[in-house]
Amino acid sequence: MFKVARSFPPPASLAARRSYTGDDVLEALNRDFLGKCYICETQEPLSLNVEHFVAHEGDEELTYSWNNLFLSCARCNNFKRHHYNNLLDCTDDRVDVLRAIEHIAPASPGAKVRVIARLPDESTRSTAELICRIFNEDNTGNKRVTSAYMKKRLFSEYATFIRYVNAYIDQNTIKEDRDRAVLHIRHMMRDAQQYSAFLRWVALNDPTIYALVEDVIPMAGA
């Protein structure tokens, strides 16, 4: 997960309670969430949903609350729905969503994605469970196709990142190419990077790489 800075004031269509899926709502969510699903971090997914963080179940306050609206892809919204109402809130400044859950990219396009809760509370465990299911669950035809698509897309980003890491650590790399590799590594640490949590955890687990990007990754607790 990645930290989201929610903009204010809320979109006008919410204040008027006309629609929680109005153009102004979608534009604001897309801007605030950097064009990424807040759960899986897929960028520009084929189908975007305005997702209620806490299922509204007919409650008008929850339906139109700006703080309760998040940007998700259709697959994540379908998994979450009303079944997961106790997730980590990536818009809450008090929550370090990056370090709460370790994201481990697959070693090959078809391998399992590993997601590990690093805190013992129920919100962290539920969030880790949901993310793990979203990437790996393939017990229906549709889920099998979309899971394979997501894992291939994630693996491609991860493989690109590792290519730059290898260029940096290779003693035969000339200085100009090593400097260029560092620029790419730092670029891929941005909040806006697709699947940023998976790439950032490579750095968090490797002091050599972390030293290159520690000013780009949010500080612990920030």
Q: What are the boundaries of each domain within the chain?
A: 12-213
The Cα–Cα gap between 141 and 192 comes to 31
Residue type, 56: H
User: Would you state the pLDDT for residue 221?
Assistant: 60
Q: Is 64 exposed, middle or buried (0-12, 13-18, 19+ CB in 10 A)?
A: buried
How confident is the prediction along the chain (222 residues), in pLDDT tens digits per residue?
999 999 999 999 998 898 999 999 999 999 999 999 999 999 987 688 999 999 998 899 999 999 999 999 999 999 998 889 999 999 999 999 999 999 999 999 999 999 999 999 999 999 999 999 999 999 999 999 999 999 999 999 999 999 999 999 999 999 999 999 999 999 999 999 999 999 999 999 999 999 999 999 987 765
Q: Which two tokens stand for residue 202?
A: 């490579």
User: Would you state the pLDDT for residue 48?
Assistant: 85
CA distances from 152 to 39, 49, 107, 136, 159 (A): 17, 22, 11, 12, 10
> For the residues of 169-195, what is the DSSP string, one character each?
H-TTS-HHHHHHHHHHHHHTTSTTSTT
User: Would you state the pLDDT for residue 165?
Assistant: 98
The Cα–Cα gap between 125 and 139 comes to 22
Question: What SS3 state is found at 130?
Answer: helix
Helices 122-136 and 141-169: crossing angle in degrees, nearest 10, is: 100
Query: Considering the entire predicted model, what is its pTM?
Result: 0.94
Compute the CA torsion angle 25, 190, 93, 39 (nearest 10 deg).
Answer: 60
Closest CA to 154 of 197, 217, 119, 94: 197
Question: What SS3 state is found at 43?
Answer: strand
